[in-house]
Structure 1
Amino acid sequence: VNEGKDKPKDSWLVCFFASWSPPCVHVEPTFAKLSERFTTQSLRFAKVDVARWPVLAKKHGISTSGVSKQLPTIILFEGGREVARIPHVYPDGRVAKGRFFWSDLVKGFELDMRYARSRGSGGGGGGG
């Protein structure tokens, strides 16, 4: 994901994770299946290990502490800019409880619509 370098219609769904975090380990198979189902030339998926890339986590305001409620964090970027994230972080710093089930992620990031748009059709898809 390159701010300002991605095409305006390019979307990336990026999972920021830590291998030592049980919630991150739990979401990994779901994220992998989403990637298999929804990847197109303009809708892509990536993972960032925050233990190896703490600067990227910090850049996106993700706490990497052992008690962080922000792991995993999944961010949707369009044209290099963040447009959605789970879990949501409120202005006062509180973190909403993230729901990382298939249906929650498909709905929360509007993956059916984004997939259809990236494929040039108006229909849905990606049930599951």
Structure 2
Amino acid sequence: MMEITWLNQMVSEPYYLFHFLAFFSYIPVRCSAAQVLSPQFSSHLLHREIQAVITFSLLTVVKMVKEETWEAFIADTLFYAKIFLFGIAMIMDYHLAFWYMLVFSVMYIFTQQPPYQSLGTSNHLTPLQLETLLSDGNTSRFWLVEFRALSSSTCVNTSRFFPELSITYSNKNLSFGIVDLGLFPNAAEKFGISLGSSDKLPTFILFESGVEITRFPELDFVAKAFNPPISKKLLCRHFELDRHLLDYINGK
């Protein structure tokens, strides 16, 4: 079932389809080049290709262990694959390398990695719907809201966290919502989010009875090299989701 899902995405998503075609194109190019290259150069090129494959495989294994989401793993893997393909193409012929650079640039401009599709138990909200829910005393006491813009690679890479957290922690007292600032950019200023700063997205805000009580990242947050990446564990700790769940269970 998983294989069928990936095949469907490969065909239907331009991001995956164009990457597959770009990488696959190296095979006929390599076969054609083998007929005109000298035996010495072909042996040298084959040696470099083997080195590239081994190094790429090691990096892929490391990323598979370190990355928490498939979206981030795929993005990093494709990035490394493009670097190695460009390097091998440069050894073969610099014209081919620049052709690949042009192809990758066009894909970057016109295609976008699709985010995680499932919503879990979270709700897609417009800013007006969110304001209505926050002001309505009959809804959940707590609302944890993710403000995202899917033009941001960080938002795509972390798009799996929020739905999975909602499945575990949503209850009658705590609800989860998602606001797409790519569709509603004017709402960013109202909630104190800077769209011009990539380190501010995604932003997660916890509301209690319609009033913001905490957010991540904080308003005075400064992006640094040693800041921990967004993870489910970090969000659980910051918003004390385990405590909220225990309070709900004990209060039944």
- TM-score if structure 2 supplies the norm length? 0.43
Match of 1:11 in 2: 142
Question: What SS class does the counterpart of residue 6 from structure 1 fall into?
Answer: coil
Give how far 1:7 is off.
5.6
AA partner of residue 222 (structure 2): V
Match of 2:222 in 1: 95
Gaps of 5+ in 2: 1-129
Over the aligned positions, Cα root-mean-square deviation in angstroms equals 2.3
Contact map agreement 1:4 1:80 (CA 8 A) in 2: yes
Gaps of 5+ in 1: 122-128
Structure of larger gyration radius: 2
* 1:80-119 alignment, distance < 5 Å: 80-90=210-220, 95=222, 97=227, 99-119=229-249
Match of 2:188 in 1: 57
Give how far 1:53 is off.
1.6
**Displaced runs of 4 or more, over 6 A:** none
Identify the structure with the greater helix proportion. 2
Give how far 1:58 is off.
1.2
Q: How many residues align?
A: 118
Question: What SS class does the counterpart of residue 58 from structure 1 fall into?
Answer: helix
Alpha-carbon spacing, 1:9–1:117, altered in 2? closer, same or farther (3 Å): farther
Q: Take 1:81 and 1:114, find their aligned partners in 2: how far apart are those partners?
A: 17
Query: Higher relative contact order by CA 8 Å / sep ≥ 6: 1 or 2?
Result: 1
1:44 aligned residue (163, 175, 189): 175
Identity, in percent, stands at 34
Q: Take 1:70 and 1:6, find their aligned partners in 2: how far apart are those partners?
A: 30
Match of 1:79 in 2: 209
Contact map agreement 2:140 2:172 (CA 8 A) in 1: no
